[in-house]
């Protein structure tokens, strides 16, 4: 999670800049709490608040983009172009390295790059006019 602060007209405002959320449902201790959940990003309209990603701004050049759809209030499907991007992020580090030296007259060295698969979607929620 990353917080950012802005100073406007003498008051400091903190805002959530980046967070990593996943769909989680944690129900209350009894059955009569069925309508309450601890964290369920579906309740906050993350789909409704999804914005289209811009190539080379939101996602790198090796990204592939996917469209997404959500159900509007009347049940019709609403399409959001370039809602999701998928790419490999190369950290420039090695994930592991191994050298085999127990074979007579032979040295075998192997290494694997540290590569992360990233699936990105941006949802802008809670915009506050200053």
**Alpha carbon distance 21, 32 (integer Å):** 26
In degrees, rounded to 5, the angle at the alpha carbon of residue 10 between the alpha carbons of residues 7 and 13 is 40
Say what the pTM is.
0.60
Assess contact for 68 and 84: CB atoms under 8 A: yes
Longest dimension (CA), the chain: 73
Mean pLDDT, each 10-residue run in order, the chain (130 residues) = 54 58 53 52 68 94 92 85 92 88 90 88 66
pLDDT at 120: 87
């Amino acid at each position: 999670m990353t917080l950012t602060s802005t100073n406007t007209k003498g008051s400091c405002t903190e805002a959530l800049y980046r967070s990593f959320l996943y769909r989680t449902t944690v129900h209350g201790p009894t059955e009569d709490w069925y309508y309450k959940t601890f964290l369920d990003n579906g309740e906050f309209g993350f789909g409704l608040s999804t914005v289209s990603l811009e190539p080379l701004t939101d996602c790198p050049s090796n990204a592939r983009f996917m469209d997404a759809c959500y159900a509007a209030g009347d049940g019709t499907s609403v399409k959001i172009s370039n809602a999701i991007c998928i790419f490999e992020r190369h950290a420039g580090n090695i994930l592991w390295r191994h050298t085999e030296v127990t074979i007579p007259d032979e040295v075998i060295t192997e290494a694997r790059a540290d590569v992360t698969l990233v699936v990105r979607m941006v949802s802008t929620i809670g915009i506050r006019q200053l």
